[in-house]
Amino acid sequence: MRSVKIAVFASGRGSNYEAIYEAIQAKRLDATVVAVVCDKPEAQVIQTARAHGIKVLSIVPNTYTNKKAYEQAILTFLHEQQVEFIVLAGYMRLIGETLLQAFPRRIVNIHPSLLPYFKGKDAIGQAIVANAKVTGVTVHYVDEGMDTGEIIAQEGLMLNPTWNRETIERYVHRIEHQLYPETLQKIFRKLGKIG
Ligand code: GRF
C-alpha cells in the first residue's frame, strides 16, 4: 500500500506524535510524517520531531492579524510538503475554515474522553470532578466545533476510585498510543481503496 503523507499538529509533549512515528517505523502504519506543525515554540514535540529529521513549522498565532492569515501560512507550508492528511495530536486550538476547506474529511483528532462526554479542555480533570466511573479515548473527524466531529473509534477505561490523576493519565495515554496509529491505518486503508 502506498504511504500517505501526513502532517501532525501538536502543542505539547508529543507522546502521540512519537507513537505515530514509531508505528510508521515498525511498519504498522503506512504513512510518512512529512511535517509537524506546532503553535508553542517551547513545546517538547519540536525537539523530538527535529531529532527525527522531520520538517517542523513552529508558528506563533498572535503574530498574525487573524485566524485566516495564520491558517493560510500553515496551508502554504502544508502544500509545500505535499501533505495529504492532517493528524491533530494535542493541538490546543480550534481548526478554522481555511484548513477545513482545504482538507475536507482529511483532518482527525484524538480526545481523552468518550465523546460526547467531557468535550473541550482538560477532559481528564472533568472526568475526575464528575466522579466518573468510566472515561476513555475518542478518535474523530474534525469539524468547526470543539470535539464535535463524527466519531471514528473509541475505547473505554474503567476508573478505579483509588487512582489519582497521574495514574489515569498514564492509562489514557497507553490507550491513545495504540488506538491512534491503529485507527489511522484503518482510515488510510479505506482512502487507498478509493484512490
Ligand atoms: C492527549 O491526551 C490527547 O488526547 C489530547 O492532548 C494530549 C496530548 O498529549 N488531545 P501528547 O502531547 O501527545 O503527549
Count of Cβ atoms closer than 10 Å to residue 145 Cβ: 9
Question: What's the pLDDT at 191?
Answer: 85
Percent residues over pLDDT 70 in the chain: 98
What is the reported pLDDT for 192? 79
For ligand 1, the distance from its centroid to the CA atom of residue 195, given in whole angstroms, is 30
50: enclosing H helix or E strand: helix 44-51
Helix (H) or strand (E) holding 156, with range, is: strand 151-158
Please tell me whether the overall predicted TM-score, pTM, comes out greater than 0.95 for this model.
Answer: yes
CB of 136 closer than 8 Å to CB of 118:
no
Beta carbons within 8 Å of 150's beta carbon, 6+ residues apart = 140, 141, 143
Indicate the top mutation candidate among 8, 17, 110 to test ligand 1's pocket, ranked by most ligand atoms within 8 A of CB.
Answer: 110
pLDDT of residue 116: 98
44 lines ligand 1 (CB under 6 A): no
User: Which residue in this structure is represented by grid cell 514509531?
Assistant: 22
**Per-residue pLDDT at 1:** 67
Q: What are the catalytic residues?
A: 111
Separation of 89 CA from ligand 1 center, angstroms?
A: 6
DSSP run (H or E) holding 134:
strand 134-141
Report residues of the chain scoring pLDDT below 70.
1, 193-195
CA gyration radius for the chain?
16
Asked if 56 contacts 49 with a C-beta cutoff of 8 angstroms, the reply is yes
Mean pLDDT of the chain: 97
What's the sign of the alpha-carbon dihedral 38, 44, 46, 49?
negative
- Tell whether ligand 1 has an atom less than 6 A from the beta carbon of residue 176: yes
pLDDT, residue 2, reads 82
What is the Å distance from ligand 1's center to 90 Cα?
A: 4
